[in-house]
């Protein structure tokens, strides 16, 4: 009796075809798609949130440009991806600072000078490339001006005088 009932149930189940209702899933995906399209960014500056690099907020509406980047976090100074100096307690590590000129960070200058020379060499063979001394700095918001002053001074001596600071929008 029980076996017959089971067979009846299985027959009924096998014969019954069904369709997955995907309408609500499509609705959800469209909402997600709209949100992602709104947050889509083609900005040349992309920052991964990090405890050691928090950018200040600003009302500036100028879009960033794709130029050489100097990143100044709470612990180090980077030129593009290469680390050039350490920062300890908000000050550039004394071993990186020049003995005769306390504003001059020698490893930073050497790296920037290399980049500037490379850009100038490129400009000689390619007219579309031009060395214009532009640099985009991503500076941690808690960095004191003393350290920033050293970095600005050194980059100025390397020919990078047109400084731009990356900031976050307030929206």
Partner 1 sequence: MSYHRRAGDATFELNLAPFLDIIVSIVPMLLLSIAFVQIKMIEAPTPQVVTQDQVKAPPKPEATLTLHVSKKTGFQFEVDDSGKKQNTNVNNVTGQFDMDGLVTSAIAIKTKYPQITKLQLAPDSDIAFDDLVKIMDRVREKPQSQRAAASFTDKAVDAKAENRQLFPDIVFSSVGG
| Residues in contact with partner 1 by the rule CB under 8 A | 22-23, 25-26, 29-30, 32-33, 36-37, 39-43, 45-47, 49, 55-65, 103, 133, 136, 139-146, 148-149, 152-153, 155-157, 159, 161-169, 171
Between 39 and 126, CB nearer to partner 1: 39
The first and second tokens of residue 136, run together, are 């985009």
Rg (CA), the chain: 28
Between 111 and 140, CB nearer to partner 1: 140
* Cα separation, 96 vs 5, whole angstroms: 85
Nearest Cα neighbor of 51 from 34, 72, 73 is: 73
* Cα separation, 87 vs 93, whole angstroms: 5
3-state secondary structure of 20: coil
Minimum CB separation of residue 130 from partner 1 in Å reads 16
Minimum CB separation of residue 158 from partner 1 in Å reads 9
Minimum CB separation of residue 139 from partner 1 in Å reads 5
Between 3 and 26, CB nearer to partner 1: 26
Between 15 and 59, CB nearer to partner 1: 59
- Strand 82-88 versus strand 76-79 pairing type: antiparallel
Minimum CB separation of residue 10 from partner 1 in Å reads 28
* Cα separation, 111 vs 82, whole angstroms: 9
């Amino acid at each position: 009796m029980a076996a017959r009932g089971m067979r009846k149930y299985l027959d009924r189940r096998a014969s019954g075809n069904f369709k997955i209702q995907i309408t609500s899933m499509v609705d959800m995906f469209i909402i997600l798609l709209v949100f992602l399209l709104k947050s889509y960014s083609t900005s040349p500056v992309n920052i991964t949130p990090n405890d050691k690099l928090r950018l200040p907020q600003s009302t500036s509406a100028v879009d960033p440009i794709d130029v050489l980047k100097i990143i100044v976090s709470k612990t180090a100074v980077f030129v593009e991806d290469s680390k050039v100096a350490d920062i300890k307690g908000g000050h550039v590590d004394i071993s990186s600072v020049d003995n005769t000129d306390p504003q001059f960070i020698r490893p930073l200058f050497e790296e920037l000078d290399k980049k500037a020379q490379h850009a100038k060499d490129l400009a000689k063979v390619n007219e579309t490339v031009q060395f214009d001394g532009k640099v985009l700095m991503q500076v941690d918001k808690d960095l004191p001006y003393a350290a920033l002053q050293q970095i600005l001074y050194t980059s100025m001596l390397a020919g990078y005088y047109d400084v731009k600071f990356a900031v976050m929008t307030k929206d």
